[in-house]
Amino acid sequence: MKARPHVCILTSQYFDWGIYGGFGSMSRKLAESLVRSGHRVSVIVPGRQGQQPSETISGVEIRSFSPRNVVAACRLIRESTADIFHSQDPTVLTYLAQRLHPRRAHLVTSRDPRELSDWWVEFRYATPMRRLLTPLNYFTESGLLVRRAVRRADAVFCPAHFLKEKVKRLYGLSVLPTLLPNLIDVPASLPQKSARPTITFVARWDKRKRPWLFLELAAQFPEYRFVAVGQGSASAESGFDAQLRRRFRDVPNLEMPGLINRFREPERMHRILSDTWIFVSTAVREGLPLTFLEAAAYGCPIISRVDPDEFASRFGKQVTDDDYASAIRHLLADNPLEKGRAAYDYVRETYETSKALAAHQEQYERFAA
């Protein structure tokens, strides 16, 4: 039997060690799924507090370096025996891997491409420390070397259709990227929803996500259950997180369970999404959030200001004026579970884990050959 190619995932995040964003979550989901299907998988990632330089989790070899130590990053890449380097969103690591291993295959999935307007939004809502780091982040994620690396990649992919034109324009590609779907666990059938409508928010409690808009909704709808999952992602925002929890702690129909680690306790998220009638996003900017796909996989219609791949307008309601209360009223009056079923069917057809994994493996076999 032919050995499956060794895949090295290059990523800016790997879910755990205080990093709980979508890039890190999908990097880990992909890595562990590939291991279970017989691949050797390694990961190279900037290290975070509490992370060891080298460790193996669920069969995945994870090697990390100090985020500012380019020499250490080069050493890890040079030592890699991977057949394929797959960047989960392009960074300077993509460029370094191409320079150090020009004869290996180099694939890029552009998950959240940022134009100058997107960087301005990031800057507006950032903490003071993050604002100081914005120029460095721009260089390592969107600078000249990164754009050059994307153009030189053997293949460029996107996890959502609406990103294709943006990625082509941003990186100066000659052809549109190909859809390479995220891996989403989809229940075999739609779960039975709770008798009392449950309205759910799942995101980092960062200012760009504007969690306070969701928390304020609970008092306006005392007859419904509200669940706000997540926590602030940076130590500089811990005060913001704590302030929100103090402000809304006495709202009786509001639950704030904090972070739920979907890899260590998947049953908790399963219970919440199974009960959820409506999923609400209050973010001012997104790519295609994994939380949209995960909620849709449980038959949850989406209320959101952003509308990637028309998830809100097709499968819920798009909010254009930040009047989320009105959107909830209209959606509840408009048979939300039917919209949820349409969302479930779309995610099952496009993003279900076994199908999405097979799409990745097809590309790996193509380029390994």
Q: State pLDDT tens for residues 88-124.
A: 999 999 999 999 999 999 999 999 888 888 777 888 8
Q: Are 63 and 31 in contact (CB under 8 A)?
A: no
How far apart (Å, rounded) are the C-alpha atoms in residues 53 and 106? 24
Token pair for 283: 């973010």
pLDDT, position 197: 95
pLDDT value, residue 283: 94
Would the pLDDT of 282 be above 60? yes
Average pLDDT for the chain: 92
Residue 41 has pLDDT above 80, yes or no: yes
Residue 64 predicted with pLDDT over 90: yes
Q: Which residues pair with 318 in a beta bridge?
A: 304
Question: For residues 75 and 336, which has the higher predicted lDDT (pLDDT)?
Answer: 75
pLDDT the model gives residue 369: 72
pLDDT of residue 133: 73
Q: Which residues are CB-neighbours of 159 under 8 A, at least 6 positions away?
A: 26, 109, 111, 179, 180, 181, 182, 287, 288
Residue in 187, 265, 294, 369 with CA at minimum distance from that of residue 302: 294
pLDDT category at 202 given cuts 50, 70, 90 is very high
pTM confidence score: 0.92
Confidence of residue 49 (pLDDT cuts 50, 70, 90): confident
| 236 pLDDT tier (thresholds 50, 70, 90) | low
d(CA 359, CA 369): 16
Confidence of residue 1 (pLDDT cuts 50, 70, 90): very low
Ramachandran quadrant class, 88 (left: phi over 0; alpha: psi -120 to 50; beta: rest): beta
* Tens-place pLDDT, residues 123-179: 887 777 777 777 777 777 778 899 999 999 999 999 999 999 999 999 999 999 999
3-class state of residue 91 by DSSP: coil
pLDDT grade, residue 235 (50/70/90)?
A: low
- Choose between 297 and 115: higher pLDDT: 297
pLDDT at residue 322, as a whole number: 95
From CA 267, how far away is CA 270, in angstroms rounded? 5
The per-residue pLDDT for 234 is 64
